């Protein structure tokens, strides 16, 4: 497959790129700061780098040429959480992305989400209530943007977009790729997930299509 990866210079995005290449996919990386990519990625012949902003319709459209699916690790930067802009810039970027996907007839989107995006299948969990409540209070603008991302993706007409939102708990740097997919409060999912496991789930899902138009909470066992 030819995969367009967004958020590729962050730690989760780098996992997506590296695991995609290991599975022999061709990768288009859309980035604002290409110098942040490791040499092993930027020099790989299976990687195409397109430099641009998330607001640049023309460059995003060019990056979409020949793409089979879009994999996104976009999300508010943890270190900037309390200072995240109030105008939901990531949700607006997703709205533009989805419109470009429609114009280019690219239907598959798998996006990073968080437990702040509620789902009708979730049940009460004290641990997740505390986590989400903390984000909503101390990083409210980031919380608002993440919620708006979920609403934007879910609002797309089903005939135009086949989406999966991989909602993650607290992310770790462990190498373990085992993952459980379910919903908050189901007695299976936990509050930790390695970034490697997030990428492994996404790349399995882009082939298997088991969670189309669903937003599972994924975690380590």
What are the mean pLDDT values of the chain's consecutive 10-residue runs (221 residues total)? 97 97 98 96 97 96 96 85 85 97 97 97 96 92 96 96 98 96 97 98 98 98 95
- Describe the strand order of the beta sheet including 162-168 as a list of residue ranges: 47-51, 26-31, 2-6, 69-72, 108-114, 162-168, 217-219, 180-182
CATH of the domain at 138: 3.40.50.720
Phi first, then psi: what are they for 22, rounded to 5°? -65, -25
Number of domains in the chain: 1
| Helix (H/G/I), strand (E/B), else coil: 211 | coil
Give the global pTM.
0.96
Residue 23's domain spans which residues? Answer: 2-219
Token digits of residue 29: 């990386």
């Amino acid at each position: 497959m030819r995969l367009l990866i967004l958020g590729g210079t962050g730690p989760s995005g780098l996992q997506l790129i590296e695991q995609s290449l290991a599975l022999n996919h061709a990768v288009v990386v859309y980035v604002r700061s290409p110098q942040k990519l490791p040499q092993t990625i930027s020099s790989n012949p299976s990687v195409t780098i397109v430099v641009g902003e998330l607001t640049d319709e023309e460059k995003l459209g060019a990056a979409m040429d020949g793409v089979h699916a879009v994999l996104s690790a976009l999300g508010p930067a943890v270190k900037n959480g309390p200072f995240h802009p109030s105008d939901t810039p990531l949700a607006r970027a997703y709205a533009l992305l989805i419109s470009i996907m429609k114009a280019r007839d690219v239907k598959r989107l798998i996006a990073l989400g968080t437990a702040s995006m509620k789902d009708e299948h979730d049940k009460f969990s004290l641990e997740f209530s505390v986590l989400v409540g903390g984000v909503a209070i101390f990083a409210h603008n980031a919380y608002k943007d993440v919620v708006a991302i979920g609403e934007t993706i879910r609002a797309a007409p089903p005939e135009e977009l086949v989406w999966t939102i991989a909602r993650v708990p607290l992310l770790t740097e462990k190498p373990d790729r085992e993952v459980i997919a379910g919903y908050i409060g189901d007695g299976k999912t936990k509050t930790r997930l390695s970034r490697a496991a997030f990428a492994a789930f996404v790349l399995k899902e882009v082939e298997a299509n088991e969670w189309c138009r669903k937003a599972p909470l994924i975690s380590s066992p």
